Amino acid sequence: MIFVVLVFIILMFLIFCIRIVPQASAYVIERLGIYHATWSAGLHFKIPIIDRISRKVLLKEQVADFAPQPVITKDNVTMMIDSIIYFRVLNPQLYAYGVENPIMAMENLTATTLRNIIGDMELDSTLTSRERINASMLQTIDEATDPWGIKVTRVELKNIMPPAAIKDAMEKQMKAEREKRAAILTAEGEKQSMILEAEGKKESAVLNAEAAKQATILAAEAQKEKEIREAEGRAQAILSIQQATADGIRMIREAGADEAVIKLKSLEAFTAAANGQATKIIIPSEIQGLAGLVESIKEVK
């Protein structure tokens, strides 16, 4: 019986003395009411009555989503802004003893920091400067939470809610801007269309002028070719007549005709060569006298 009691006492002692700290957690231990140690993940032994777990701290990155806070801009516009803070506990001891309620302390710190930053900005710059506001808040809150063992990793403005009247005015302004951009784009399109049409007409006129020039050149070349062929034809005809005349004179000479007959035939050859086309005929001096004789004979007849 005594053995069973001893075993039970030992088991209860082990139950109260053995503690297992889970991963990504830390336990702050006090001994006789004074900070003694910080247990990390693993198996640990605690002395009953003397040692006490003061605080269980989560070491994972945590998210604190705070309620919307009223802020006033530099141009006296009141709006609601809610923010989100991402943080981690780096020092469990400071987290346990640095401030009574770390989350509430960060919420109040965030609200005051946000009011200070927005108070130096106008409404328009507030709506378009989220990144700058986030960076300023991150730097300020991270420095302020160092004594609490907290590392702020990121600060984000979740939503910015201006008053209803300001929101309506902004929507009207955005609508007017969209209509203005649409009108500008339409005008630009019409301008581009007119430019393209003018360029098309210009190119068409250039092509037409080039085609007319090419046609004129081809017509001139055709006329030139025609004149060349006509000249060659006339030259060939003259050569043929001269050849025939020469053949006739040679036959007359072979037949024993005298010099006067030969000169007379030559004069007739010149007359035939002219063919009524020439306005002036140059006759060799030796047959000019014979030509006069022929005219005299014609007059006598």
Cα–Cα distance, 236 to 187 (Å, whole number): 73
Question: H or E segment at 278?
Answer: none
Point out the least confidently predicted range of 29-38, 116-125, 220-229, 232-241.
232-241
Q: Which CATH superfamily is domain 62-162 in?
A: Band 7 domain (3.30.479.30)
| pLDDT mean over 162-168 | 77
Q: Where are the alpha helices (DSSP H) in 71-158?
A: 92-97, 102-119, 123-127, 130-145
Q: What are the structure tokens assigned to 60, written together? A: 């994972």
pLDDT digits (tens, 9 = 90+) for 62-117: 999 988 888 888 888 888 888 999 999 999 999 999 888 999 999 999 999 999 99
pLDDT digits (tens, 9 = 90+) for 167-184: 777 777 777 888 888 888
Domain parsing of the chain, residue ranges: 2-58, 62-162, 167-238
Cα–Cα distance, 60 to 92 (Å, whole number): 12
Higher pLDDT, 50 or 264: 50
- What pTM, to 2 d.p., does this model score? 0.55
Cα–Cα distance, 101 to 155 (Å, whole number): 19
Helices (H) and strands (E) in the chain, counts: 8, 9
Find, among 182, 132, 190, the residue nearest to 157 by Cα.
132
Q: Where are the alpha helices (DSSP H) in 255-284?
A: 259-274
pLDDT digits (tens, 9 = 90+) for 182-198: 888 888 888 888 888 88
Per-chain mean pLDDT for the chain = 80
Classify 132 as helix, strand or coil: helix
Q: What are the structure tokens assigned to 189, written together? A: 């399109």
Cα–Cα distance, 55 to 147 (Å, whole number): 17
pLDDT confidence bin for 253, thresholds 50/70/90: low
Cα–Cα distance, 55 to 95 (Å, whole number): 9
| pLDDT mean over 22-34 | 92
